[in-house]
Amino acid sequence: MTSSRFLLVFCTNILLQLVALTIAQVQDTALYSVCSSNQGNFTANSTYQANLNHLLSSLTSNTKIDTGFFNISYGQNLDKVNAMGLCRGDVKPDSCRSCIATATVELPKRCPNEKEAIIWYDNCMLRYSNRFFFGNMEFGPWFSMYNLKNASDASTFNQAVKSLLDSLKIKAAPGDKFATGNANTSAGAGSQTIYALVQCTPDLSEQQCIDCLNNATELLPKCCDGRLGGRVIAPSCNFRYEIGRFYDVTADAPTTSPSPSPSPASLPPPPTPTPTADQPPASQESTNSATQKGKASPSTSATFVLVLVPLLFWQYL
């Protein structure tokens, strides 16, 4: 009996460690990255590279990154580097700093010569450029992901998702630029609870945030029609919804139907992607917008996640 109990405890501990390790790996795996050629390239040992390296190294040692958002510049004139970091609004400071530190190492590896680049993780985003983009609403490059499972009553479910996201963007835009909430839907045989979050970069105005999130939710029929989970992610904003709570919030009240939101800003058409040598062919549709084109490098490690964390299994459009 004693040996059986010991074996059970041992196996349980191993399983818990594997799950914890898998979640950590998912959080540290980049969702997407784009290397833009629009702003040109820099050469090795150039002043721009030195400024970029200095800026990125300063971020990894900055213990004051605890608000979940920063924009910072370093250098002069044409060699000036502008960088922005954004963590998901529910992520704790230690996890935020860890994600940003990972991004500062990974992004230069993926984009070794481009002056402008961006990378997204579950917990954070990091971007830099030689142009000044602070305070600008930028919807490109964008990408979308969706859960492989479908709702049994797609029409009812889609309407519930749209109503929830509309209410959250009105809540987020004038305040912290981040909001979470949930709503019930009777789609299919029984009731389901939909959980969602929306977020904008805090340097945007209220109207800029609304415009960006309107652009994102306009893509719902294209990216996530009838899917039990989905998200659209852009430099200035993002949304995500699931039928299981995926964010770290102690409580959020069910959300009622929203008032009509302002008209969306014009949406840049999604381009046709061109796979590169480091980009495996996929059924993916969007990354490079009309305003910014570049090499995209999607993560391809989701298959392993399916076994242990089903809600995190996605497929790129």
Enumerate domains of the chain plus CATH numbers: 32-129 (3.30.430.20), 143-252 (3.30.430.20)
pLDDT averaged over the chain? Answer: 77
Tokens of 243: 């039928």
pLDDT of residue 63: 64
- Is residue 178 within 8 Å of residue 198, measured between CB atoms? yes
AA letter at 70 = F
Q: Return the residue matching tokens 């699931």.
A: 242
Q: Taking the model in full, what pTM does it have?
A: 0.74
Asked whether the beta carbons of 293 and 36 are under 8 A apart, the reply is: yes
- Helix axis angle, 93-110 to 47-60, nearest 10°: 160
| Model confidence at 129: pLDDT above 70 | yes
What is the Cα–Cα distance from 316 to 285, expressed in whole angstroms?
8
- pLDDT tens, residue by residue, 216-243: 999 999 999 999 999 999 999 999 999 9
Average pLDDT, integer, range 103-131:
97
196, 180 in Cβ contact below 8 A?
yes
Residues facing 125 on adjacent strands: 86, 120
Question: Is residue 148 scored above 50 in pLDDT?
Answer: yes
